Amino acid sequence: EVVALASSRSVGTEVSYGDKTLKVTNLDTYDFSDTDICLMSAGGAVSQKYSPKIGREGCVVIDNSSAWRYDADVPLIVPEVNADAIAQFSKKNIIANPNCSTAQLVVALKPLHDHAKIKRIVVSTYQSVSGAGKDGMDELFNQTRAVFVADPIES
């Protein structure tokens, strides 16, 4: 069973999942004790607040934010690269994954590294502002508008 969870203001709204439509349930009151896996993609602050609680209830959290990437007790996993490190998840019942551009890059680099050790790599990424959420999108809109009407640009 798949359950859609969100904050109380989203309870009752509907999201599509394959051929199904799921009604959103309140994350604050959801009982994770009978849940196997929680795919957390709600931002770092939400993950830091809820993931430890969810993990203590026996559910494994796979977190998509930056919240746990540097926690020594949380494995940072890209299955194609270091699947064996997943055994460390049980310390907190949380698994982290790297930034989206990093994940796809290391999948491509792993076989090269295995063949001829990579000593250094320099990477530049140009990522979508949508990753910053609504506030970031609004800021980009306002800055773009300011350029076109010759207003001062505010950060």
> Is 81 or 125 the better-scoring residue by pLDDT?
81
Using CA atoms, how far apart are residues 38 and 67, in angstroms rounded to an integer?
Answer: 15
Question: First and final CA of the chain: distance in angstroms?
Answer: 43
Which pTM does this prediction carry?
0.79
Residue 132 pLDDT class (50, 70, 90 cuts): confident
List pLDDT tens digits, range 26-42.
Answer: 999 999 999 999 999 98
pLDDT confidence of residue 28: 94
List the domain boundaries for the chain. Answer: 3-97, 100-147
22-45: buried (b, 16+ CB within 10 Å) or exposed (e) per residue? bebeebeebebeebeebebebeee
Using CA atoms, how far apart are residues 53 and 40, in angstroms rounded to an integer?
Answer: 13
Using CA atoms, how far apart are residues 41 and 39, in angstroms rounded to an integer?
Answer: 6
CATH topology of domain 3-97: Rossmann fold (3.40.50)
> Is residue 5 within 8 Å of 28, Cβ to Cβ?
no
87-105: buried (b, 16+ CB within 10 Å) or exposed (e) per residue? eebeebbbbbbbeeeebeb
Residue where the block lists tokens 């000593």:
119
* Closest by CA position to 97, among listed 23, 47, 29: 47
Q: Token pair of 68, please?
A: 């746990």
